[in-house]
Structure 1
């Protein structure tokens, strides 16, 4: 389409005024058809990227602060009974400093100058969870919030998975006996609950003793009292491995008596071949234990 020279100049002037072309370009195209004029490409201006950094609440210096360690199951958010251990990451070997009860407001002491802490929560039947936290800036840790001067720290625990192995820290046996103490009921029932919750679980129960010395073995009697010695207990002798086997079998019997199918449970006896501590160590009693390994989930 042809236009007059006057119209051409008017179009070019309009483009300049609208900043679609520069004055220099206007001179270059003064003899070019308007239909061939292209507005100059301008570099794309990207909006300034804003980092969504978490706002951290500055706290005044203090020797103690109030914490609430909220321990729940990840799957259904049910409250779980448990404790939180506090370790000092600035110390040699990350020394354990204190243990605090979960799900209640507790007073936590400062453990070092930096404020760095390492929190660990382990509840039987669930995977251990560890969190770094700074005593002076606690809400710099993801999920931690401060409300009414109480520092809320969430521990959402996932169930054990195939390949995991968990120590039943709160299962205790009478001396030389394949009979549990009454205080073992809670954790043994937790194992039963775990097995009932997931019918696909298959487990291996590992039995351990402190040392490999042979000796007396007291076994459960016909009354099937899993948690108390009584008059119908059987007494014999055998190796440490035999004692560890009987303890693992006792645990299996308890589960079967409470409706768990026998083919979901295997046992393995170790005697004293896998100690946590030396036999003469102050904490050697912890060598006497039962561990649960998840074979299938």
Structure 2
């Protein structure tokens, strides 16, 4: 009876501890991030640099990707985080500031300590039994089948690595490879990774590498496919051609790209996730009423298309029966979208 009572208490103790751990893990914070680094030393240097500029910067590891995030604000209020992010983008050199929602620096929860009660086992005498001898049969060794390793097919083309840097720091960005300045299609690759490119089909035998990195000015270079030596800094361990591209940070007067302001296809209606960045800009303009901004947008294509516009609806982030429908050009659709951004900012 005593043994049964002890087991029951242990089960109740375990259940009472577990929900507390789960609640702690589910807490979500919003961080205004100014840098992400794979190496701890780089995160420490970037944090020190930010603190010398009178920021209250800290760094913490993201357990999902093991990168170190340098942040200057941590808050449970999402709108407050986006408002502060807009202020930092406009008023400081950190044009690449962004909001991470989640939990940084999570540690493994300690497992509950369970005291083990000694279990007394009464030994019963074992009666000796006579064991019959079993004749030994020699077994022939079994030959293991030879497993052939799968042959990995090498990608077509030459390996390149576009190394995106600002000073001594690597920069997270995207590289667009085009055949010509007027090309409407391109291949998109992550920077600082090995990619394989096939020979261009143009007569010059060259391609354009256009770099887009949040918080940095766009850069374009023309690379000779057969002889990229003018831009290359050497060859890597996998025979990849390393092309370093130095990026310059955006300054006041440069444009700030809104990465999360998006529209429904063929419409001038915001997708719901656009609201956070727009509200961040609203709060900044309320705080600094003397600021002046210019809204710029772009749509690809030349053909007319049937689109949906806001019309008489008061909804910015969802479609409505009060929306208008019209056949417009890409340029006209761009104007509708820019007008929608302006209308939303004024309405707030």
- Give the shorter-chain TM-score range: 0.3 to 0.5
Structure number with the higher strand fraction is 1
Greater RCO (CA < 8 Å, at least 6 residues apart): 1
Q: TM-score, normalised by structure 2?
A: 0.36
TM-score between both structures, scaled by the size of structure 1: 0.40
Q: Which has the larger radius of gyration?
A: 1
